[in-house]
Structures are given as C-alpha cells and as structure tokens.
Structure 1
Amino acid sequence: MEMKTLSRRKFLGATTLVGASAAGALAAPAVLAQTPFTIKMQTSWPASDIWMDFAKQYTDRVERMSAGRIRFELLPAGSVVGAFQVLDAVNDGVIDATHTVPVYWYGKHKAASLFGTGPVFGGSATTMLAWFHQGDGKDLYKELTQDIMGLNVVGFYGFPMPAQPFGWFKQPVATVADINGFKYRTVGLAADLLQTMGMSVAQLPGGEIVPAMERGVIDAFEFNNPSSDLRFGSQDVAKHYMLSSYHQASESFEFMFNRDVFEDLDDDLQAIIEYAVEAASTSNTALALDNYSADLVRLQEEHGVTVHRTSKEILAAQLEAWDTIIPTLEADAFMKKVLDSQREWVERVTYYELMGSADLALAYEHYFPGKLKMES
C-alpha cells in the first residue's frame, strides 16, 4: 500500500467533513467548531520590550480575523532559540514563525541588511516599505531567501520604523574625531559603516546591551527607539542620547513563517496571515508614535537624560562612509541588483515626497517656538 503524508490542511478538511456527516446524522447545529491551528511564533525581543506589544498587535488581529481558527503561542527571545537564531529555527521547523528584523540574519548573507538597514539614498522607512510592496522588493526578497539561500520560509514586511538614534553616549559627541576608537554596539551593515568611521563594533541582541555597557565591553550603543531603550535601562548607563542618524534609517519588521506551515493553511487563512501584517503596520505605527514620544519626555524629565541632534559633521561622514561601502557590496551581482532597484525607486519616489512635503520643522517652530533649539 502506498503511504502518503497527510498535510495539516487536508487533515483539518477531512475532520470537518467527517464532523459534518456526524452532525447531519445527529441533527446537530450546522456550524461546527474547528480545532484551532496553533502557530508557535518566537520573537527576537525580550519579554519586557515594547516590540513584544507590537508582535501581539499582529497575533491578536490574525486570531480575530480568522475567528479563532488560528491561534498563536507568542514567545520572547530565548524561549526556544536565541534572538539571532530565529531564521534557522523557522527554516528547520523548530518554531513555526518569528517576528524579527532581517539584519539579525545578516551573517547568513549580507543582502539581508539591504531589506532593512542598507545605504540611505534619501528615502524614509515608509519609502522603502513601499519599495518592498510596490517596487521590486518582494520579488527580490523571495529570490534571496528561496532561490539563492534555499530557505524554507515565507516572509512579509510591515511597520516603517522611525529613523533610529545614533545612540547612547557618556559624553556628547560632535565630530568624527570624538567617536574614533569607541567600542560601539550596532548590527548588520551599520557595523561595516561605523567601523569605516573608526569605531570598533560589537553585534549584540537587545537584551545584552546594557550589561555589556556596565562591564565596559562597549563604550556607546544604539538599539532602536526611546521606549525600548527606556525599558532596557539605557538611562542608567549613559545620559546623552543622540537622535538622528543614517546608520539605520529605513528598517521594518519581518514576519517570517515556515513555508510548509504557511502553505498547509487554507487560502483564506494564508491571506489573513499576509494582510494582517498591513493592519499591524498601521497599529504598530500609532503605538510607536504615542509611546516613543512619551518615553522620550520621560527620559529627559524623570531620568536626567540630555537629548541631542547628531551633528551634521557626523551625518555627512556617515554618507561618505556609505559611499565607500557601496562599491564593495555591488561586487555581488544580486546585491547590485537590489541597490540599483532601490536607487531607481528612491530617485523617483523621494523626489515627489520632498518636492511635495511642507517644511514641518518651520510649522513646529511657529507654534512651539524655541523647543527644537533647546533640544538641539
């Protein structure tokens, strides 16, 4: 007898058919309960990080839109594997899904960083998320993960992150000379960038940053945003917070699923899994703007943190460092294809964005005079 593997989708369908027959015989109600399909999703974030709240916004939406046919077991980093090991775990089926960022698997292929923390040609995170959905990004991501790397995964992108701070320093820095020799935490191509500028870089997951600062392993660091930084206790190890930077200015979350798990779902559930990312992208943005802004005020008023804008000298040096790195990336044919696509997109789309946008700083200064200058 030929033995065939029964997929989860077919199993659920068969269960429903058998149940329907039994229900008819017993004159039971027409609508039958279906055993929920449970997806084990581990994030790359500590349990206390606000990004766990963002992940839960996504899982809550999937569960409600699926009428309970899908349930999530949402786990923080380290529950099954480390924060940087989630790609392998999803690929191997150790976990079903992850909520992460592509830069965390940059060590597998540097092109991963181009989908989150690559060179800044002038586009915002919103611009680059639009490139993923309307430009070539989605197809190029599939080519990288499935064709080039041979991974058994499916991924979706959502939540255009506000540009990340240059980070936390014990003393303010204003020149490139000020940061020369610093031991600094960042991840992905940002590590290449800042090493080009004279820093020594350690790539650490979020939960290890403050302990590393306390032990003197690093002198300065960045993670992502005021809320995460506050919850990590960044204000306990440094008091100068430098906002604005080109090292990671256009990142988004990656919602990654084991391909077999995803394809075993009914078509409508696959659609819910995919399009709930877009719904969560909106809710994540609202939650981020509310919490990030409120926590920035808390850092200043309750914890004595001084907020600075990163100097134009350092920002200009970052762009010059990108100019040095880009040719080395383009030696790889696939990475050149991605970068060419991004440049073409940004040149057209950001021209429209910049020409059409009002000077928001001018309006802000008009209604709240002196505030920006005090925080510069």
Structure 2
Amino acid sequence: MNRRLFLRGAAVAGGAGAGALAAPAVLAQAPLVVKMQTSWPASDIWMDFAREYVTRVEEMSGGRLKIDLLPAGAVVGAFQVLDAVNDGVLDAAHSVPVYWYGKSKAASLFGTGPVWGGSATTMLSWFYQGGGAEFYRELTQDVMGLNIEGYLGFPMFAQPFGWFKQEVNTAADLQGFKYRTVGLAADLLQSMGMSVAQLPGGEIVPAMERGVIDAFEFNNPSSDRRFGAQDVAKNYYLSSYHQASESFEFLFNRDFMEDLDPDLRAIMRYAVEAASTSNTALAMREYSKDLRELQEDEGVTIHRTSKDILAAQIAAWDKLIVELEQDPFMKRVMDSQRAWVEQVTYYELMNAPDYALAYNHYFPGKLSI
C-alpha cells in the first residue's frame, strides 16, 4: 500500500470515533546538505550552469538532498577542488579536468587534448560509450589513488582562440605573445612561439592590465564578457584547435557517494546528464546573445581564426602527440580516442548537410566564411 495513503487513512480512522488508535506522527526528515564548490567566480555563467545541476538534484530528491553551492575561493582555490574533494573537505565540485593537469598531463586528454576531428559532443560520447569513463576511473583511482569518482557533462562549444589587442592573421604573427591558456594547450602554443601563463578565469583581466599577459582565451563569449575581456582587447578570434572538445567535470568524494541511499546516489550521478542538456540550451541562448552584443554594443571585432593558424596548430599537435605517446597510459587513451573519432565522426560528417549553405540562403552576408 502507498505509504502516504496508509497514513491518510489512519488519520481518518483516528478521527472516526472515541477509542480509535491515534494516527502515527510523521517526522520530517532533515535534508542531507552537500557541500559543492565550483572553479568559477560567483558572477560567471558557469555558476548558472552549476545551479541548473543543483535544481535538478534537489527537485528529483524531493528535498532529501540540498546542495550548498559555493564559488571559487569560498573554501579552496579554483585549481584546488580535486584535492578538496579527495580529502573530504568538499563533497563535490564543478570544474574541468584540465585544472588538475599539473598533477597528471593525462587529465588534459579528458577534454583538452589533441583534436582528432571530433567535436566536444563526439568526445563526450566517447566518455560514456567508447571506454572513456573507464580510462578516467583508471587514471584517478588506480594510477593516482584518489578517493573520488567523476562524470563529464555539457559538451562545450569549441573554445575561441581568444582576445588580442591587434590582428593576428598568420602563425608568424603569434611569436612572442604572452598568452593565457591551460593544460596541453599551453604546451601546444608554447611550441608555436607563444609564452604561456596558466591562470584561473578570475585572474585574467588583472593580468592583462598589469602586462603579465597581452593575449588570452578563457572559453566563451558570455564568460569573457562578464569578466570584462572587451575592456582590455577588441579583437576576438573564434574557432581554434587548442581546446575544441571539452566538457565540465562533476567530482564527488567516493565515501560520500557510497554512504548515500542508492536512489540518491543515482540522482547525483544522472542529474549530470540532465544538466548537460539544460546547460547546452542555456549556452546556445546566452553565448550567441553575448557575441552579438560584444560586436554591436562593445565595439569588438569578431574574426574567424585563419586557416594558416589552424594548420599550424594541427602541425604542432602532431609533434606533441609523439611526445605524449611515450607515456603508455596516455597512448592507450589516445589510441582509443582516435579509433572512436575515426568511426563516429565519419558518420557525423558524411551525414551532416551543409548548414552554412542554408544559413547563407536565409541570412545572406552575415557569415565571413
């Protein structure tokens, strides 16, 4: 019998006449509070994405779970959330694997590694259906001995090459730039003649203002606009191979997850997939709106990165891959990714119609390609 109906019936019976048994008291269960920190400033759109995860967990759990969502720096720095979750200082975190690249370069393969030709959606599907999740578990738990479990969600649109004070049209133009990026992209662009600093998002504009860097990328038009990228540079280059297939990382302390009731543990896990869909929709709306407003209201010139620079990035990846393959684990991961992309992206590209052709038909003159 449904427990709620049973209690309701008992209450009716209890009031039916003298001597009837009193209805049992229903004690409200206090929610379990989950301490979760992101790697993002409080004002970043990625905090909005994290809030969508929070909403889904709390509503699906019927209030049995409540997530205390905190911005970067509330407990630990943006790059320290992995350690905090591992140590149990945090129950969970919303971040990206590349932020713990300093512990293992293999972290960068789970989103910011070589671009084999597939999109972020292709690589997220590799994580869930192509063996990527087991490689991730092997790295974090077997190789590194961490007390965490993690899942990827929200296939990010390819990251812009970024913000420059003057135009850069060829690979030769990049020589000597002091540039901000993270992960293997740092190795990649250093090999192309740039001097690279790895900084969290909240430190980028101050670094530009002090002259520590003179060009940078972060991720997307909305995040970039919110932290004031347009105030320190006016040339914004979309399209790049340096970070073209990244997703968010949802980190959980293993002890915390194993102590949850099975249904709550499932909610924590599968809400990642639910938020992934909602994040994609929100990103499409906000990224496109902010890109238009950067161009129309903020005086930013929007460029597509030249084919000369893109070709140089691929050539630089080719050399870097040879170095990375000296590590047996990284070679196994990259072999798996290559096989997945060869199969899946062949279908994607052969099946996709020419969307640019249709766009140009209905909105002539807008595209610069």
Query: TM class, shorter-chain normalised?
Result: over 0.9
Q: CA deviation at 1:177?
A: 1.1
Please identify the structure whose Cα radius of gyration is greater: 2
Look up the equivalent residue of 1:27 and give its one-letter code.
A
Instruction: State the match for 2:174 in structure 1.
Output: 179
Equivalences for 1:135-214 in 2 at 5 Å?
Answer: 135-214=130-209
Within 1, Cα distance between the matches of 2:98 and 2:251? 13
Equivalences for 1:1-376 in 2 at 5 Å?
Answer: 27-29=23-25, 32-373=27-368
CA RMSD of aligned residues (A): 0.9
Within 1, Cα distance between the matches of 2:215 and 2:344? 35
Within 1, Cα distance between the matches of 2:77 and 2:363? 45
Query: Secondary structure at 1:371's aligned position in 2?
Result: coil
* Paired residue total: 349
Within 1, Cα distance between the matches of 2:162 and 2:27? 54
**What does the per-residue CA deviation read over 1:232-289, in whole Å, with 9 as the maximum and x for residues that have no partner?**
1000000000000000000000000111001100000111011100000000000000
Query: Secondary structure at 2:151's aligned position in 1?
Result: strand
Unaligned runs of 5+ in 2: 1-20
Within 2, Cα distance between the matches of 1:192 and 1:209? 19
Runs of at least 4 residues off by over 2 Å: 25-29
**What does the per-residue CA deviation read over 1:46-74, in whole Å, with 9 as the maximum and x for residues that have no partner?**
00000000000001100000001110000
**What does the per-residue CA deviation read over 1:333-367, in whole Å, with 9 as the maximum and x for residues that have no partner?**
10000000000000000000000001111111111
Query: Secondary structure at 1:98's aligned position in 2?
Result: strand
Q: CA deviation at 1:32?
A: 4.1
Query: Secondary structure at 2:163's aligned position in 1?
Result: strand
**What does the per-residue CA deviation read over 1:58-96, in whole Å, with 9 as the maximum and x for residues that have no partner?**
011000000011100000000000000000000011111
Instruction: State the match for 2:5 in structure 1.
Output: none
Within 2, Cα distance between the matches of 1:33 and 1:126? 42
Query: Secondary structure at 2:152's aligned position in 1?
Result: strand
Within 1, Cα distance between the matches of 2:57 and 2:27? 20
Q: CA deviation at 1:35?
A: 1.5
Look up the equivalent residue of 1:84 and give its one-letter code.
F
Within 1, Cα distance between the matches of 2:357 and 2:191? 34
Within 2, Cα distance between the matches of 1:172 and 1:282? 36
Within 1, Cα distance between the matches of 2:200 and 2:24? 53
Within 1, Cα distance between the matches of 2:30 and 2:233? 50
User: Equivalent pairs: percent with the same residue?
Assistant: 76
Query: Secondary structure at 2:179's aligned position in 1?
Result: strand
TM-score of the two chains, using structure 2 as the length reference: 0.93
Look up the equivalent residue of 2:65 and give its one-letter code.
I
